[in-house]
Structure 1
Amino acid sequence: MKALTWHGKHDVRIDNVPDPGIVNPRDAIIKVTSTAICGSDLHLYDHFIPTMQSGDILGHEFMGEVVEVGPKSTLQKGQRVVVPFTISCGSCYHCNKHQYSACPNGLPADNQDIARAAYGHEMSGLFGYSHMTGGYAGGQAEYVRVPFSDVGPIVIPDGVDDDKVLFLSDILPTGWQAAEYAEIEPGDTVAVWGCGPVGLFAVQSAFLMGAERVIAIDHFPRRLELARQFGAEVINFEESKVYEALMEMTGGIGPDAVIDSVGLEAHGLFVDNVIDELKVRTFTGTDRIHAIRQAIIACRKGGRVSMPAVYGGFVDKFPLGAFMEKGLTLKTGQTHVQHYMPALLNAIMEDKIDTTFLISHRMPLDEAPKGYKMFHDHQNETTKIVLKPGMTAAAA
């Protein structure tokens, strides 16, 4: 089969690789009909995430048709399913608490030591996202093996277009969890750093949860305009000083809750960000954390900090004093996708949540390397790329 494989920084290729097969009784094989390039995939593209190996198959946002099942799978051949990016067993201590992204059984034993060495504990497995998270083949391919298929995938009703439901795999639940972690109360003002896919879904979710005002922060005009379409006020950080603008907009109090949807590759010619960039380039640091620093400084006293954004390693210049003195709370983590999928699918079916607005490009799987470069280099025009195995370039 054809699959998109990683071979190093900014080097992804379409290769012919062996077809997947059933390994465990709870497995299923999915014929991929749609798969998307995620902002988190760009961290792999930029080689910020360790333990990648040449030839790894990428992709953790995908859906498709069930073509083969193990004897203990609850899926049936011919069903259309969306697959969560987290690989979770459904019955361990954490899964029983609906903390699916903390499931240790999603990681093969050989990979658990890598995660423990980095973070103290193992996390769930993730599709197509390094050997620290299991080394699983991802979904930017014609076929993919899905472990624990009786727990993860959600069956999609007939007649529902892929584009409406594909993002249940990751970014819609991630944006929703980000807003939920912000503990939004009626009348709140919420500030969201980053108007990429997760940030835009966090904006939409915050309004649905009762926020009175949402302030979106970015520097790409098209992405800011998409935030405006949901009713957000916007700050372009290349045109305004973010802290000063937020203080003016909130009467000097600050936002009630802040959401960091930027993560370890923050943009901008800020002093702290330039220093972080130098450390990354000289291998003395790993993450550029300007967004979370700024969010903590701007948040009101007694406010809440939600951090859905991906960070990878140790950081310095973290404003711990401000965090403590202001009495803030922080919630973060990979998304417990399986927990949110049923309710969000219902919301989509009832037209309460729109996802299709985000898609800027549809491309054949064969053009995935071109898509990665576009998403990396042209983020104003490229908000989301959906790859279609089997699509021809003429049909794109």
Structure 2
Amino acid sequence: MKAVTWQGRRHVRVEDVPDPRIEEPTDAVIRITSTGLCGSDLHLYEVLTPFMTPGDILGHEPMGVVEEVGSEVTNLRPGDRVVVPFQISCGHCFMCSAGLHTQCETTQVTGEGMGAALFGYTRLYGAVPGAQAEYLRVPQAQFGPIKVPDGPADDRFVYLSDVLPTAWQAVAYAAVPPGGTLAVLGLGPIGDMSCRIARAQGVERVFGVDLVPERLARAAQRGTEVYDLRVYDDEKELVQAIRDETGGRGPDAVIDAVGTEAHGSAAAKLAQTVTGLLPRKLSGPLAERFAVDRLAALYMAIDLVRRGGTISLSGVYGGMADPMPLLTLFDKQIQLRMGQANVRRWTDAIMPLLTDGDPLGVDDFATHRLPLTEAERAYSMFQQKQDGSVKILMQP
């Protein structure tokens, strides 16, 4: 089959690789019909290269049709149309029973000290072959895959794999009080969808911050009050502008949907770049012990949120030695919630918004649809934010 493989920093390639097969009785094999390109994939493209191996198959946002199931998978049969969550969880361990599927004790990558295995996401998360491919082996298929109706185009359901539950959890963790306000930093796919979900749940005032014109325009069209970072002399001025709209206090909650590749963090960007250029035998241990993030967005969130407010982190951070302003966090009495989305915890609540109309606008959420064979161009375009690319779907 054809699959998108990682070959080095800013270098992916579509290659012929062996077809997946059933290896455990809880496996399934699905034929991919659509697969997303995620902002988290860009971290592998550049920042997290020390944890990658040439030939790794990328991708974690798939949907498709079941081709084959293992003997212990009784909930699926060939021909079923399914969406596959980006994390691999069993559904019955202590953590899964608590709704913490990203901490699944069956698939935890204990050798690396990490949580549940993820599709297509570095050796830290199990080096499981990913979903930007023609076929995908799905472990723990007795629980993970979500059956969806036949009929509507893939766009209606594919975001259940990551975008929708990640944004839903970000809003849930933000815990905006009735009549409260929310700021969302970063209007890529997760930030944009977080704004849509917050508005659908009744948050009247949502402030969105970005510096890409197309992303600002998309969010503004759906009722978000947008702030263009480029028009302010510095971030303090932008923070004050939003405070002025909230009685001088700041919003009740802030979602950081940016993560480790934030603009405005030159020193950390240099450190990430230098580490990524070192030989893997050196860069891996250095990144594991001394990695730093670009924290400009997180620092802005801490400055912006009102005292006693909540910061919800959905952007991926990977640093092991990041300087955190704990005095400010403590003094402002800030609640901080974070983590990979526990996909199956939220999908039952999301599904009615996909089957009873389209209030979140998923049908036209993708800005680009490309064949899998154009993955190299897709990654470059998305990383460079060219041609208005916000969300890219690929079809094998």
Q: TM-score range by the shorter chain?
A: over 0.9
Residue 93 in structure 1 maps to residue 94 in structure 2: yes
Amino acid across the alignment from 2:23: V
- Output the CA distance in 2 between the equivalents of 1:49 and 1:247: 38
Q: Say which is worse superposed, 278-287 or 167-176, in terms of deviation.
A: 278-287
Contact 1:34 1:166 in 2 (8 A): yes
Partner of 2:333: 327
- Output the CA distance in 1 between the equivalents of 2:341 and 2:49: 18
Match of 1:369 among 365, 376, 394: 376
- Output the CA distance in 1 between the equivalents of 2:325 and 2:227: 22
- Output the CA distance in 2 between the equivalents of 1:251 and 1:55: 53
Contact 2:94 2:105 in 1 (8 A): no
Q: Say which is worse superposed, 239-248 or 33-42, in terms of deviation.
A: 239-248
Deviation readout 1:23-49 (Å, 9 max, x if unpaired): 111110000000010000000011425
Partner of 2:149: 157
Deviation readout 1:96-139 (Å, 9 max, x if unpaired): 101101113124xxx5211x1xxxxx301100001110111111
Residue 21 in structure 1 maps to residue 13 in structure 2: no
Partner of 1:388: 395
- Output the CA distance in 2 between the equivalents of 1:15 and 1:285: 31
Matched residue of 1:200: which SS?
helix
Matched residue of 1:125: which SS?
coil
Partner of 2:63: 63
Deviation at 1:206, TM superposition (A): 1.2
- Output the CA distance in 1 between the equivalents of 2:387 and 2:312: 24
Deviation readout 1:298-322 (Å, 9 max, x if unpaired): 1101101100110002243422111
Amino acid across the alignment from 2:68: E
Contact 2:182 2:206 in 1 (8 A): yes
User: Structure 1 residues 13 and 335, CA, compared in 2 at 3 Å: closer, same or farther?
Assistant: same
Deviation readout 1:323-359 (Å, 9 max, x if unpaired): 1001110110000001112221221111233213321
Contact 1:182 1:259 in 2 (8 A): yes
Amino acid across the alignment from 1:300: R
Partner of 1:250: 246
- Output the CA distance in 2 between the equivalents of 1:380 and 1:15: 26
Matched residue of 1:21: which SS?
coil
Residue 215 in structure 1 maps to residue 204 in structure 2: no
Deviation at 1:252, TM superposition (A): 1.1
- Output the CA distance in 2 between the equivalents of 1:219 and 1:92: 42
Contact 1:184 1:210 in 2 (8 A): no
Match of 1:263 among 243, 259, 262: 259
Partner of 2:83: 82
Deviation at 1:267, TM superposition (A): 1.2
Partner of 2:104: 103
Contact 1:186 1:212 in 2 (8 A): no
Deviation readout 1:75-100 (Å, 9 max, x if unpaired): 11001000000100111110010110
Matched residue of 1:124: which SS?
coil
Amino acid across the alignment from 1:36: G
Matched residue of 2:354: which SS?
helix
Matched residue of 2:230: which SS?
coil
Deviation at 1:380, TM superposition (A): 6.3
Amino acid across the alignment from 1:90: G
Amino acid across the alignment from 1:112: T
Q: Which runs of 5+ in 1 are unaligned?
A: 117-121, 390-396
User: Structure 1 residues 315 and 294, CA, compared in 2 at 3 Å: closer, same or farther?
Assistant: farther
Query: What is the percent sequence identity of the aligned residues?
Result: 44
Match of 1:167 among 144, 147, 159: 159
- Output the CA distance in 1 between the equivalents of 2:126 and 2:291: 24
Matched residue of 2:262: which SS?
coil
- Output the CA distance in 2 between the equivalents of 1:225 and 1:124: 36
Amino acid across the alignment from 2:45: Y
Partner of 2:111: 113
- Output the CA distance in 2 between the equivalents of 1:317 and 1:123: 23
- Output the CA distance in 1 between the equivalents of 2:125 and 2:44: 13
Amino acid across the alignment from 2:31: K
Deviation readout 1:191-233 (Å, 9 max, x if unpaired): 0000000001110111122212000000011101111122110
- Output the CA distance in 2 between the equivalents of 1:192 and 1:160: 30
Q: Say which is worse superposed, 373-382 or 289-298, in terms of deviation.
A: 373-382
Contact 2:59 2:132 in 1 (8 A): yes
Q: Which runs of 5+ in 2 are unaligned?
A: 276-289
